[in-house]
Amino acid sequence: MSVADRPVTMRQLIDAATDELAAAGVGSPRVDAELLAAHAAGTDRGRLTFTALDDDVAERFGGLVARRAERIPLQHLTGTAAFGPVDLHVGPGVFVPRPETEALLEWALAQPLPPEAVIVDLCTGSGALAVALAAGRPTARVIGVDDSAEALTYARRNTAGTAVELLCADATASDLLADLDGAVDLLVANPPYIPADAELEPEVALHDPAHALYGGPDGMAVIDRIVDVAARLLRPGGLCAVEHDDTTSQRTVEAFAGTGHFGSVTARRDLTGRPRFVTAVRSE
C-alpha cells in the first residue's frame, strides 16, 4: 500500500513513508521521509509535529515519496541542499554538494588569511564552497570557476546578492586566471575524482552529471592538473585544499609533493573518518 493510500496523522504518514523508502533501498529513509513531509507541508522538519495534515499535503507528500523510492535524489525533489551555513539551489545538471565536503570548508575557514584575501574555488559546480567561504570571509575576493554552463546556472542563483565572481572556464587550463599568478591566498577544489570503474548509488550514477563525477581510470586525471594550476596561482605561503576519492589520498599527497612547489602536504579526513582531502602550502 502506498503512502498516498494511508490517511490519518502526519506521523503515521511519515512512518509509512519510512517503510516504503527503506524497502526501496534508500539509505536514510526516516530522515528523507521527514524532510519530504516538511517540504510538502511548507514547514521546517522540527515543526512537523505541530503541522496540520490536509488532503493536499498528503497528496504532495505521497508523490514525493514515490519519486524518492525511484531513487531520485532528495535534493532534486526539494530543490535545495544544505551546505555548511548556506542553503543552495540544486537540481538536474549540477553536482549535489555532500556533507563530507564540509570538513574541507571548516579547514579553510579556520586558516589565517588577510582580510582582503583572494580565494579561488575550482570546479565550483553549484557554487557551494565559494558561497560558504564568502559568507565566512565577507571581505575576501572569492572567484568560482567551472566549465559547465548548466552548473553555472545554479551557481548564479546561489551567488546572487553576494560578491562571489563566477567564471566559465576549464579549471585545468594553463592560462586560467593568469592575471592572478602568484597572488591567490587560498585555492580550494572539489573536482571530478571518482575512478571510472567505481560502483555508485543510483542517486549519484543516474542523476549527478558524469562530467562532475569521474576523474579518469584512477580518479586523478583532473587532480593532477589542478595541482599544477595551484602551484602557478598561489602566492608563497598560499594555501591549497583539494578533495579526492577515499582510495587516492596517498596519490594526491604524492601529486603535491612531486611538484617541488609545496610544503606541509597533509592528508586529512572527514567527519566519518574517511580520507577526504589534502592540504598544502605553496613554498617560498
Residue 190 marked as a ligand binder: yes
Give the pTM: 0.92
Residue 191, annotated ligand binder?
yes
What is the third-level CATH fold of 84-282?
Answer: Rossmann fold (3.40.50)
Q: Is 158 annotated as a binding residue?
A: no
Report the candidate in 208, 93, 104, 207 with the shortest Cα–Cα distance to residue 155: 93
Pinpoint the residues of the chain covered by CATH 3.40.50.150. 84-282
What does the pLDDT look like over 216-267, one tens digit per residue? 999 999 999 999 999 999 999 999 999 999 999 999 999 999 999 999 999 9
What are 105-138's pLDDT values in tens digits? 999 999 999 999 999 999 999 999 999 999 999 9
Question: Is 154 flagged in the annotation as binding?
Answer: no
What is the C-alpha separation between 187 and 244, in angstroms, rounded?
Answer: 15
- Judge whether 149 and 168 are in contact, CB under 8 Å: yes
